[in-house]
Amino acid sequence: MEHHRVEHHLDLTDQRIAYVDAGERSSSAPPLVLLHGGAVDKRMWHPQLEAFPGRRILVPDARGHGGSSDAEGPYRLVDDVCAFLDALGIEQVVAIGISMGGGTACDLALEHPDRVAGIVVSGTGTSEPQFSDPWAVQAFADWRAAEQGGDLQAWIDVLQRFTAGPRRTLDQVAPDVVELIGTMARDTVMNHLRLAEDGTPLPPHPPTPVGRTWERLPTVETPVLAVCGALDGEDHRRNARRLAGAVPDGRFVEVPGAAHYPNLENPGAFDHAVRAFLSSSGS
């Protein structure tokens, strides 16, 4: 239903948060908070807005993305999520994130364990993913070069490599998925890129990282689902498997026919995996 996609705003002391509030507000179950990946925004979650009957679904834009404000100083994405929940008067949620958002979901379990009844992490491990595969290393190097050179189209083209994954070309991905990722990335740059006086692009304020994430995983008591697209990069899948194996209550699922955005490429399988996790873990 379209009214589920109305953008709301929270004006906090140091930021403005844009978000969608969908689903069943009166539910006694913990709401689902859907956290998007870097360079995109909350629109990536549109297939999930009506996929979990009986749950309230909250979908915020991270700082520097979508309708949320840019960072003016130090911040941590995990604390922004807590500030968002505090402003809405919500004590506990199930955090579901992809890529950057998956790292933030993991950080929530590490830094604020009382705020999560469960987490779903896709396309990453912790917020400190480790990359050694030549395909991923080259992609990240090319992405940085495009950013430093101010080449918007090259920057989007590199991002789309992750959409396809290392074993496909972009024309093997559904056109509507490619178009959505490209539109969100272009909007991120057009609406949030800072420019110096001479017109050259300035990098955004990076979030302050959460440290020692991998070594702290054995302390995570909340149930964890690591779900990865079967066509995602080798490192992305390895990080997800490592996360699932390092926590006391972890499980790993691969979504067939999908790379870095399994919720968009195969929403049926992605949603089924999340629903099964919610049911079996009591989240």
Delimit the domains of the chain by residue range.
Answer: 2-130+206-281, 134-202
Q: What is the DSSP string of the chain?
A: -GGGG-EEEEE-SS-EEEEEEEE-TT-SSPPEEEEPPTT--GGGGGGGTTSSTT-EEEEEPPTTSTTSPPPSS---HHHHHHHHHHHHT---EEEEEETHHHHHHHHHHHH-GGGEEEEEEES-SSSS-----HHHHHHHHHHHHHHHHT-HHHHHHHHHHHHH-TTS-GGGS-HHHHHHHHHHHHHHHHHH-EE-TTS-EEPPPPPPPPPSHHHHGGG--S-EEEEEETTS-HHHHHHHHHHHHHSTTEEEEEETT-SS-HHHHSHHHHHHHHHHHHHHHT-
Give the Cα separation of 200 and 186 in Å (integer). 17
Give residue 199's pLDDT: 62
Q: Which of 279, 240, 13 is nearest to 105 (CA)?
A: 240
Give the Cα separation of 42 and 46 in Å (integer). 8
Pairing of strands 224-229, 250-255: parallel
How many Cβ atoms sit within 10 Å of the Cβ of residue 149? 12
Give residue 191's pLDDT: 87
Tell the CATH superfamily of the 2-130+206-281 domain.
Answer: Alpha/Beta hydrolase fold, catalytic domain (3.40.50.1820)
How many Cβ atoms sit within 10 Å of the Cβ of residue 136? 20
**Chain mean position to CA 20:** 15
Joined together, the tokens standing for residue 243 give 């996360």
Q: Is 130 left (phi over 0), alpha (psi -120 to 50) or beta?
A: beta
Residue position matching structure tokens 């873990």: 281
- Say if residues 263 and 43 touch (Cβ distance below 8 Å): no
The amino acid at residue 119 is: I
Give residue 2's pLDDT: 44
Give residue 196's pLDDT: 65
Joined together, the tokens standing for residue 122 give 């896709």
Joined together, the tokens standing for residue 44 give 């990536």
Give residue 150's pLDDT: 78
Q: What is the pLDDT along the chain (283 residues), one digit of tens a residue?
A: 344 579 999 999 999 999 999 999 888 999 999 999 999 999 999 999 999 999 999 999 999 999 999 998 899 999 999 999 999 999 999 999 999 999 999 999 999 999 999 999 999 999 999 999 999 999 999 998 988 887 889 999 999 999 999 999 999 999 999 999 999 999 998 888 776 666 666 667 889 999 999 999 999 999 999 999 999 999 999 999 999 999 999 999 999 999 999 999 999 999 999 999 999 999 8
